[in-house]
Amino acid sequence: MREASKTVQVDGKFVMHRGGFLESPTIAYETWGELKGKGENAIVLFTGLSPSAHASSSPGNPSAGWWEDMIGSGLPLDSDKYFIICINSLGSCYGSTGPASENPSTGEIYRTKFPVLTLEDVAEGGYEVIRALGLEKVHTTIGCSMGGMTALAFCVRHPELGGGLISISSATRALPFSIAIRSLQREMIVKDPKWNNGNYDLADPPVVGQRLARKLGMMTYRSPREWEQRFGRERISLEMHSDEQFFGDFAVESYLENHANRFTGQFDANCYLYLSRASDLFDFAEHGGSLAAGFKKLNLERAMVIGVETDLLFPVRQQDELAKGLAEVIPDTEFVHLDCIKGHDSFLVEMDAFRPVISRYFDPN
Amino acid sequence: MREASKTVQVDGKFVMHRGGFLESPTIAYETWGELKGKGENAIVLFTGLSPSAHASSSPGNPSAGWWEDMIGSGLPLDSDKYFIICINSLGSCYGSTGPASENPSTGEIYRTKFPVLTLEDVAEGGYEVIRALGLEKVHTTIGCSMGGMTALAFCVRHPELGGGLISISSATRALPFSIAIRSLQREMIVKDPKWNNGNYDLADPPVVGQRLARKLGMMTYRSPREWEQRFGRERISLEMHSDEQFFGDFAVESYLENHANRFTGQFDANCYLYLSRASDLFDFAEHGGSLAAGFKKLNLERAMVIGVETDLLFPVRQQDELAKGLAEVIPDTEFVHLDCIKGHDSFLVEMDAFRPVISRYFDPN
């Protein structure tokens, strides 16, 4: 799953949005279905911070993807009808060039010498794939979480591609509470002595900081209400810490421990720092000087904004704001407010709530 | 402010709720006003996790206290009428015996050899003060945040004292989300190499972990809505970190940094671990086998539960649950739901909202 099945290599310099450049970066992606025409049936999918381009299984990679129940024959993103392209974000470590990649000019791993990453750069990485595939238009751009902001950047910078937009649990920009959470996650990693200014031993990365950051992440990806139903004050008799006096016997603590264990070693620490910071930096208002001016630059036929009531990271009021802004310029804009209890992560785990909504977008009759 | 102005020393062994004992512990407290009779005008105040007993200025200590605008002549807790006693929690480091104190039996600092601390023990520490002052009844017990749970423990264990109860931004027990937050805060400290299994150099404590924990604390003490109004996406040009690429230029990051700076060095790390864990362990249902059984054991004349809409740590639905449970056994129970935006900390900073409510309790006409 580390390597997406296809890659595009940019020819020459890739100029970064906030300065600097990358020499011939690679963008990894995966596709499902067959392309028709110049992109009339193309769906471009931008991911959240940590997923790879492996959104669903395929003959070349039969392992389950992160949106397995959404993409495929007869599913809402129907590979019998559509050509679905999932982009691995520039800056990630699943095939696309990022801080964990070797700089071809120096032969060294970029680490913190990678230029400042923005979601505009991630969007342009996606555009390199679109261009390499020869597409002149797209049917719909979809973005989940961070990917929703990337999708906005993609649509505002490439109005010529037209089509529609589905934004899922995202926003026009991060709120201070979300910035605070991500900033603290980054600080946990950077303050781990093993981070070593980004020059950590790849065989001995700053796992302590990464685990703490992952636990805080899980708290903001789910919801207090879900955990109340799921765990209550249930205790376990697991001994996880030598200092068990302070920890570990509540079921919710064990759950977080297990999640941290699963994530550890999967994601490069520097890549995480860059993508997390890119999420904070994004502000759609920079595209024109105000949100309204940014929306006016869009050239979209339709839009759908899906938000979840219990989302702590991208609160539903932000998604309402996005939907209202889009509706000012795109008459066919729908805002779907879902009452899922699993918080920000609902789009990954509450498929029975999300599938009908996405199906309705693609097959409204 | 480190030392409360008065102390009680327990005579002999103080048996702890979950086993073990302390040898002649000290409980620090402060008082305002004059005692009348056997406690007819006594107000007992239990604090949140970190405050000292210095809730308000006094002739002996003119510096401002943590509830300066609530306690004093003509204020809601009126020192002209009432005898107000604020208890420094057992386990704290502001005069009461805690993990940072010397064990008189060994001459060594307790550190992690301090027995498991519960809020029942903190309540009993308060009772030692009441007994030493010769009180046989109290007018009202008040607890804020963690202190609200301590107050419940105090009232259920000492029904003979009677009187009323005011619970502010508290609950009958912690929810899994709150447990997760506090557990992660403790882990941040314990994973700081300088913690050293609790045997840190007192001149060089685990400040990195303590700062991270404080920042996460601030996120849960305030509210996303307040920060949105207060900070938006404001940027500063402060250079706080050498790794400024990943941090520090958003106003909200600077705010958290300043709060972490102010807290650092003030609170002993082991004391924090014990009190934080005690908050997770408390469950009022243990007093009788169920919440309802616990409520039935109370002998209170009146109760008031005050909750804040934006509280993330003790959500208002928990306070509603507490109020309903109290109302089952105490007809004169009032639930006051305040629409403050400053979250859990509102009782410390939104005095214009809290003062009239508390005044009404003490002077209903």
pLDDT in the model for residue B32? 97
Measure CB to CB from residue B190 to each of A246, A283, A312 and give the nearest one.
Answer: A246
Confidence of residue A331 (pLDDT cuts 50, 70, 90): very high
pLDDT for residue B147 is more than 50: yes
- For residues B265 and B95, which has the higher predicted lDDT (pLDDT)? B95
Q: Strand B42-46 relative to strand A21-23: parallel, antiparallel, unpaired? A: unpaired
pLDDT in the model for residue A237? 58
Confidence of residue B237 (pLDDT cuts 50, 70, 90): low
pLDDT in the model for residue A221? 92
Whether A10 contacts A24, CB under 8 Å: yes
pLDDT for residue A59 is more than 80: yes
Confidence of residue B343 (pLDDT cuts 50, 70, 90): very high
CA distance B44 to B97: 19
Annotation marks residue B145 as catalytic: yes
pLDDT for residue B242 is more than 80: no
**E strand or H helix that includes residue A305:** strand A302-308
pLDDT in the model for residue B186? 97
Contacts of A181 in chain B (CB under 8 A): 219
Annotation marks residue A283 as catalytic: no
Annotation marks residue B223 as catalytic: no
Contacts of B233 in chain A (CB under 8 A): 173-174, 176, 179, 283
- Name, in order, each residue with C-beta under 8 angstroms of B331's C-beta and a sequence gap of 6 or more: none
Interface test with A, best of B110, B118, B173, B177 (most A CBs within 10 A): B177
Interface test with B, best of A110, A118, A182, A184 (most B CBs within 10 A): A184
CB contact under 8 A, B252 and A180: yes
DSSP conformational letter for B129? H
Cα–Cα distances in angstroms (integers) from residue B254 to residues B215, B224, B238, B341, in the given order: 11, 16, 8, 20
Whether B276 contacts B185, CB under 8 Å: yes
Encode pLDDT of A151-167 as tens digits: 999 999 999 999 999 99
Whether B153 contacts B123, CB under 8 Å: yes
pLDDT for residue B232 is more than 60: yes
Provide the CA A16 distance to its chain's centre, in angstroms: 19
Measure CB to CB from residue B283 to each of A173, A233, A241 and give the nearest one.
Answer: A233
- What is the percent of chain A with per-residue pLDDT over 70, rounded to a whole number? 97
pLDDT for residue A127 is more than 60: yes
Phi-psi category of residue B42: left, alpha or beta, with phi > 0 → left and psi -120 to 50 → alpha: beta
A-chain residue closest to B255, CA distance? A180
Encode pLDDT of B292-311 as tens digits: 999 999 999 999 999 999 99
CB contact under 8 A, B179 and A273: no
Predicted ipTM beyond 0.90: yes
Contacts of B193 in chain A (CB under 8 A): 193
B-chain residue closest to A232, CA distance? B176
Helix, strand or coil for residue B81?
coil
Confidence of residue A233 (pLDDT cuts 50, 70, 90): confident
CA distance A212 to A216: 6
- Name, in order, each residue with C-beta under 8 angstroms of B257's C-beta and a sequence gap of 6 or more: B240, B248
Whole-structure pTM value: 0.94
CB contact under 8 A, B180 and A208: no
pLDDT for residue B342 is more than 70: yes
How do the domains of chain A map onto residue ranges?
A: 6-174+283-362, 178-272
- Name, in order, each residue with C-beta under 8 angstroms of B9's C-beta and a sequence gap of 6 or more: B24, B25, B26
Contacts of A248 in chain B (CB under 8 A): 183
- What is the percent of chain B with per-residue pLDDT over 90, rounded to a whole number? 89
The domain defined by A178-272 folds into Rna Polymerase Sigma Factor; Chain: A (1.10.1740)
pLDDT, mean of residues B77-98: 98
A-chain residue closest to B271, CA distance? A246
pLDDT for residue A171 is more than 90: yes
- For residues A234 and B209, which has the higher predicted lDDT (pLDDT)? B209
pLDDT in the model for residue A55? 97
Q: What are phi and psi of A250, to 5 degrees?
A: -80, 145
Mean pLDDT of chain A: 94
pLDDT for residue B185 is more than 90: yes
Contacts of A190 in chain B (CB under 8 A): 241, 243, 246-247
Interface test with B, best of A18, A112, A187 (most B CBs within 10 A): A187
CA distance A85 to A53: 8
- Name, in order, each residue with C-beta under 8 angstroms of A363's C-beta and a sequence gap of 6 or more: none
CA distance B347 to A47: 41
CB contact under 8 A, A241 and B191: no
Contacts of A113 in chain B (CB under 8 A): none
Measure CB to CB from residue A253 to each of B183, B193, B247 and give the nearest one.
Answer: B183
Contacts of A241 in chain B (CB under 8 A): 190
Mean pLDDT of chain B: 94
Whether A94 contacts A52, CB under 8 Å: yes
Contacts A–B by Cβ distance under 8 A: 143
CA distance B15 to B13: 6
Helix, strand or coil for residue A23?
strand
CATH no. of B6-174+283-362:
3.40.50.1820
The residue to which tokens 């805690």 are assigned:
B98
- What is the percent of chain A with per-residue pLDDT over 90, rounded to a whole number? 89
- DSSP secondary structure string for all residues of B78-90: ETTT-EEEEEPPT
The residue to which tokens 């299994």 are assigned:
B197
- Span between the terminal Cα atoms of chain A, in Å: 36
Least confident of A46-50, A220-224, A332-336, B274-278: A220-224
Confidence of residue A241 (pLDDT cuts 50, 70, 90): very low
Angle at A89 between CA A83 and CA A93, to 5 degrees: 120
Q: What are phi and psi of B103, to 5 degrees?
A: -75, 115
CA distance A344 to A337: 13
pLDDT in the model for residue A238? 47
**The amino acid at A222:** R
Catalytic residue of the set A78, A121, A268, A311: A311
Q: What are phi and psi of B175, to 5 degrees?
A: -80, 160
Encode pLDDT of A90-117 as tens digits: 999 999 999 999 999 999 999 999 999 9
Q: Name the minimum distance, in Å, from the CA of B26 to any CA of chain A.
A: 23
Confidence of residue A234 (pLDDT cuts 50, 70, 90): confident
Q: What are phi and psi of A27, to 5 degrees?
A: -120, 125
CA distance B165 to B163: 7
Confidence of residue B243 (pLDDT cuts 50, 70, 90): low
pLDDT in the model for residue B241? 45
